[in-house]
């Protein structure tokens, strides 16, 4: 699985700097997805509208169940902080994470994504 890490050098990672657990990195999210079935083609970590984002792409069409299982893996990464579901595409799923820096972006994360618990309840 390819890792495209546009977070490098920006230190825009998922948990607050004062947290007891070091903040999650693109490499930590990448490692969490190794062994996932179906195997992703790529993890692209980038920034937009003041938030760190992740695009996980696949070779084949994916279902909401795959997106939910990916979300659960990402949220379980130590230091991940809050992970929000943004969108499901035929071969990709998008998430954003709370940035680990101040000041926060102008708009709350809920403007761009849905908390994973809400996502799970709506798809169950």
pLDDT recorded at residue 15 = 47
Domain boundaries, the chain: 15-46+63-89+107-116
Token pair for residue 43?
């993890």
Q: Does the pLDDT value for residue 99 go beyond 80?
A: no
Side-chain-facing half-sphere of 17: CA atoms under 13 Å: 5
Token pair for residue 7?
């977070």
Q: Does the pLDDT value for residue 105 go beyond 70?
A: yes
pLDDT digits (tens, 9 = 90+) for 18-72: 556 777 899 999 999 999 999 999 999 999 888 899 999 999 999 999 999 999 9
pLDDT recorded at residue 89 = 97
Q: What CA–CA distance (Å, rounded) separates 117 from 115?
A: 6
């Amino acid at each position: 699985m390819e890792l495209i890490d546009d977070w490098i050098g920006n230190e825009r990672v998922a948990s607050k700097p004062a947290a007891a657990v070091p903040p999650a990195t693109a490499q930590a999210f990448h490692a969490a997805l190794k062994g996932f079935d179906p195997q992703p083609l790529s993890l692209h970590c980038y920034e937009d509208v003041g938030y760190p984002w992740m695009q996980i792409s696949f070779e084949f069409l994916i279902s909401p169940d795959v997106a939910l299982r990916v979300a659960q893996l990402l949220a379980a990464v130590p230091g991940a902080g809050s992970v929000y579901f943004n969108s499901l595409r035929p071969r990709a799923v998008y998430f954003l994470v709370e940035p680990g820096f101040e000041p926060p972006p102008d708009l709350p994360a809920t403007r761009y994504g849905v908390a994973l618990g809400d996502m799970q309840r709506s798809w169950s």
